[in-house]
Amino acid sequence: MSYQRRKEFLVFGAPKIEQAEIDEVVATLKSGWLGTGPKTARFEGMFQEYIGTKHALAVSSCTAGLHIAMIAAGIGSGDEVITTPLTFAATANAILHAGAQPVFADVEPGTLNLDPAQVERRISPRTKAVIPVHLYGRPCAMSALLEIAERHKLMVLEDAAHAIEAQYHGRKIGAMGLAGCFSFYVTKNVVTGEGGMVVTDDPEMANRIKILSLHGLSADAWKRYSDFGYRHYEVVFPGFKSNMTDIQASLGLHQLARVEKNLQRREEIWARYEAALADLPMDLPPPPEPDTRHARHLYAPLLKLDRIGMTRDEFMHKLQAENIGSGVHFVSLHLQKYYRETFGYQPQDFPVACEASQRTVSLPLSARLSDEDADDVIRAVRHILGA
C-alpha cells in the first residue's frame, strides 16, 4: 500500500454537534431566558438520572465544580488534599482556590491512575480529602482508595472529567464518594461549550453547592424574574459565579441523550487502533480492569522512545505534518513551573508520572471520526514509525 498524506487537517478532540443541539440553542435564544432556568433544571434532572445520585448541580465548569464542592465540604486553609500529579492543572488549582494544599501521590504504571499505596504514604494529620482522577476514562482502584479513605476518615471527591460513562464494580463513577465532578468542555465526552456538573447523594452538600454557585444567594434565587412573580433572596454566603446557563444546557440535553451511542462509536475506533497499532514500538492502553467500564475518553499510547529514536514532541510534529492533530495528557503537574517552584519538586519525586509525561501522546478519538479518519491516523502513525 503506497502512503498518501491526509488532505485536510484532522482536528484533535473536535466534538460531534448535531442539528438537535443547534435547534435547541436557537429556541433558547428566542425564548428570552438565556441564563440559568428551566433547561438547566431539566439537564440536571437528566444527568442525575443517568448517574443515579440523589442530586446533580449544573455549574460553569468542572474546575468550578471541584472548587465549590471542596468549599461545601468544609475544606480550606490548613488542610491537605491528596491527588495525582498526572492530571489537568484544574484538579490541583481548584485545591489551591479552596485555600488548601495539594499533595501529590504517584500513579501506577500501566493504568496511570492514582496508586493507593502512594496515597497512603502521603497521608498526614492535616489530610482532609483525596481526589481520584479517572484518567482517560479508566476507573481508579476505588475499592482500595475508599478503604484507605474510610480508615483515615478522609473525604473522597472524584474528578470524573474524563469518565461520564465509566463504571466500577457495577457502580457509576462520580457517585462513589461524597461528590463527583464532571466536565462538558469542548473536547469532553459530553459538550456544552463550557460547563460542568457536581453529583452527590448528600442533601446538605447539594444545597450548599447550589447556593455557592450563584453568588451565595438563597436557593432558587434564579427564579426571581420568572413567571412565579418576583422573589426576594438573601445573601447567605459570599458565593461564586459558577452557574450554568440555559444556552449551555440546550447543548447538554441532546449531547447527554447520545452519550451511550457516542461511547459505542469511540469503542469502535479504539478497537480499530488496537488492532492496527499492536506491533509498533509503543505501549498501548491496557484493557479495562475486570468488572469495570472504561469511558474511552482519550486513546493515549506510551511511545517507546529508546526504540523510535525521537522524542514525543518530534513524533507529534511529524503527525502534524501528516495533517493529524494530537494531544498530550498530561505533562505532570510536579514538572510545571508554578508547582515545581512553589513546592520544590524534583522530576524523580514522582517517577511514574514523570516517565508518562515524556512518553504519552493522545491520538484523535471522537465520535465524529469516520473509519477513514481513523485509518488516516493509523497510516500516518505507521508511516512515521517506519512500519
The catalytic position among 39, 188, 241, 318 is 188
188 is catalytic: yes
Q: Which of residues 70-89 bind ligand PLP (CB under 6 A)?
A: 87-88
Judged by beta carbon, residue 33 or residue 47, the one nearer ligand PLP is 47
CA of 347: how far to CAs of 106, 332, 338, 356, 373, in Å? 11, 9, 14, 12, 37
Q: Is 360 in the site for ligand PLP (CB under 6 A)?
A: no
Peptide bond into 330 cis (omega under 30): yes
CA of 58: how far to CAs of 158, 161, 218, in Å? 16, 14, 16
The answer for residues whose C-beta is within 8 angstroms of residue 353's C-beta and 6 or more apart is 84, 85, 86, 104, 106, 107, 112, 332, 334
Q: Which of residues 115-174 bind ligand PLP (CB under 6 A)?
A: 133, 159, 161-162
Out of 28, 53, 83, 91, which residue is the one contacting ligand PLP (CB under 6 A)? 91
Judged by beta carbon, residue 193 or residue 281, the one nearer ligand PLP is 193
Half-sphere exposure of 121 (CA within 13 A, CB side): 10
Torsions phi, psi of 107, nearest 5? -100, 165
Judged by beta carbon, residue 65 or residue 277, the one nearer ligand PLP is 65
Burial of 122 (0-12, 13-18, 19+ CB in 10 A): middle
Provide the mask over 163-192, with x wherever binding to ligand PLP is found by CB under 6 A and - wherever it is not: --------------------x-x-------
Distance of alpha carbon 365 from alpha carbon 324, whole angstroms: 12
**The cell 514509525 sits on which residue?**
385
Out of 132, 139, 196, 364, which residue is the one contacting ligand PLP (CB under 6 A)? 196
Judged by beta carbon, residue 133 or residue 277, the one nearer ligand PLP is 133
Provide the mask over 44-63, with x wherever binding to ligand PLP is found by CB under 6 A and - wherever it is not: -----------------xxx
Judged by beta carbon, residue 10 or residue 161, the one nearer ligand PLP is 161
Minimum CB–partner distance for residue 5 and ligand PLP (Å): 31
The three cell numbers locating residue 147: 478503604
Minimum CB–partner distance for residue 180 and ligand PLP (Å): 12
Minimum CB–partner distance for residue 197 and ligand PLP (Å): 10
How many residues touch ligand PLP under the rule CB under 6 A: the total is: 14
Question: What does the angle CA 20 – CA 47 – CA 147 come to, to the nearest 5 degrees?
Answer: 145
Catalytic amino acids?
188
Residues binding ligand PLP (CB under 6 A): 61-63, 87-88, 90-91, 133, 159, 161-162, 183, 185, 196
